[in-house]
Amino acid sequence: MGWFFFLWLAGQGGSPDALQHVRAGLEARKQRQVDTEIAEFRKATEIDPHLADAFVNLGAAFMEKRDYGAAIAPLKRALELSPDLPVAHQLLGYALLSQGYSAEALPHLQKVSALEAAGIAQLDTGQYPEAVASFTAVLAQRPDDPDLLYYLGHSSGLLSKSAIDTLLAKHPDSARAHQALAENYYVLRQMPQAETEFKEALRLRPELPGLHLELGQVYANSAQWPKAEEEFRAETKLQPGNGEAAYRLGSALLQQGKPQEALDALKRSNEVKPDMPETLYSLGKAASLTGDAPTAEKSWLRVVELEKDTSLAAQSHFGLAALYRKQGKTPQAQKEMQEFQKLQSTIGPPRSQ
């Protein structure tokens, strides 16, 4: 807390005795004698109870000693005497925040644009949108700060939960409420309940984009592929431009051993959302199963162009190795297998889901 050393009198008048103690306190601060510092500043405030700078420095000394509770009173007094003193606002904001008085701390922190601390106070006081805005603003300056990343994630989650709670409280019978419940069940892997809620949402608003896609994923999770296919197909009709829906449809068709239909869906997915590695990998797989070796090769080669050190890249090398092996291209097959094994040793073997 280096700023303590630079606190100095703001220039207003005071009794000479009081100012002498202030100077002694500042000298003690330089010597890192915090108890002497506190004693000197306290004497200054006793001699001149209207000397704001003495109170600020006393508060700062308590802060330096990490006695945040004791810092609050002198800092408050300083602001009574000099309401616009930025350092006092900042220190009082921190002191109050550290003692759990987040609501009281917030205006002081906002006054001096202490955004990170303000964000924490906003989080504590349930002002989630404001907290998200504060953390986002600070992250722009310090994008890799782990504390900031944590707080942004945490506040975003709480904001999301708060919105859903409001939705469920105010519109419990709406399609969106059922969708939200369904998504929650899905995360908890309670698939029968998720299915029921998604179906109810669809009954209420069959045209709502995304519902069929989500219900399809419920079925896919429990390997009910024909039902999953039906839902993904419905989503692709509703949203022909949704690349993910087409990809999911292709995957469901692949699982059912319908490679030609899967190939069509995956080509469509790649058209509307080009170069999605998952789509390209599955496209290669479907093409390979239908005997369309050129498309399989092209798709997998594109994956390894896009992805270098991922399991999808490893899988694509493995697919290419099998493809070349079948074609009798032994050197290429060996090269791809070596790439697969190399990736296995670095990123670990691809595991089934």
Q: Which residues bind another protein (CB under 8 A)?
A: 189-192, 221-223, 225-226, 254-257, 259, 285, 288-289, 314-315, 317-319, 322, 325-326, 337, 340, 344, 349-353
CA distance 250 to 233: 9
Q: What is the DSSP string of 73-88?
A: HHHHHHHHH-TT-HHH
Minimal distance, residue 123 CB to another protein, in Å:
29
Nearest Cα neighbor of 276 from 255, 252, 250 is 250
Q: Which is nearer to another protein, 100 or 349 (CB)?
A: 349
Minimal distance, residue 323 CB to another protein, in Å:
11
Kindly report the number of other CB atoms within 10 A of residue 2's CB atom: 5
Q: Which is nearer to another protein, 73 or 191 (CB)?
A: 191
Contact yes or no for 99/120 (Cβ under 8 A): no
Minimal distance, residue 190 CB to another protein, in Å:
6
Q: Which is nearer to another protein, 62 or 225 (CB)?
A: 225
CA distance 51 to 13: 8
Contact yes or no for 275/302 (Cβ under 8 A): yes
Kindly report the number of other CB atoms within 10 A of residue 215's CB atom: 27
Nearest Cα neighbor of 281 from 292, 262, 296 is 296
CA distance 235 to 250: 12
CA distance 308 to 339: 10
Q: Which is nearer to another protein, 51 or 254 (CB)?
A: 254
Q: What per-residue string of b and e applies to 310-326 under the rule 16 or more CB within 10 Å gives b?
A: bbbbbbbbbbbbbbbee
Minimal distance, residue 271 CB to another protein, in Å:
24
Q: Which is nearer to another protein, 62 or 318 (CB)?
A: 318
Minimal distance, residue 230 CB to another protein, in Å:
13
Q: Which is nearer to another protein, 132 or 312 (CB)?
A: 312
Q: Which is nearer to another protein, 99 or 344 (CB)?
A: 344
Q: Which amino acid is at 95?
A: A
Q: Which is nearer to another protein, 192 or 240 (CB)?
A: 192
Minimal distance, residue 267 CB to another protein, in Å:
18
- CA–CA distances in Å: residue 64 to residues 49, 57, 98, 315: 22, 10, 13, 57
Nearest Cα neighbor of 310 from 344, 274, 286 is 344
Minimal distance, residue 336 CB to another protein, in Å:
10
Minimal distance, residue 285 CB to another protein, in Å:
7
Name the residue with tokens 């009574």: 80
Minimal distance, residue 222 CB to another protein, in Å:
5
Contact yes or no for 11/30 (Cβ under 8 A): no
Q: Which is nearer to another protein, 102 or 315 (CB)?
A: 315
